[in-house]
Amino acid sequence: MFFVLFGTRPSVSETAIVRFVCHFCGIDAPQRVFKRSARFTLFFVPLFSFGTKHAVACTNCGATTELTSHQSRDAERWAENRGAEHA
């Protein structure tokens, strides 16, 4: 008898932290930029990601706003440049 074990697993990774005024709570607070995706697994080994979405979450109120992949890349670049300026 042979069994094939496959499925999906959610994956969330933080890509950057940027600071600006949250449009929900109005507080100047750090905002977490993150990427969510589902991963197809075969025998519990992740093979590929699909359904990738980007978002930003306020660390003060927890409100989340969806981002495009372009907006997410811009946030990552902005965070890298700001870190280099303050180093």
Domain boundaries, the chain: 7-85
Q: Would you state the pLDDT for residue 84?
A: 53
pTM: 0.76
Q: For the chain, what is the mean pLDDT?
A: 90
SS3 (DSSP) at 83: helix
Residue 87 has pLDDT above 50, yes or no: no
Pairwise CA distance, residues 29 & 19, whole Å: 6
User: By C-alpha distance, which of 12, 13, 8 is closest to 42?
Assistant: 8
**Contact (CB, 8 A) for 31 and 21:** no
Residue 56 has pLDDT above 90, yes or no: yes
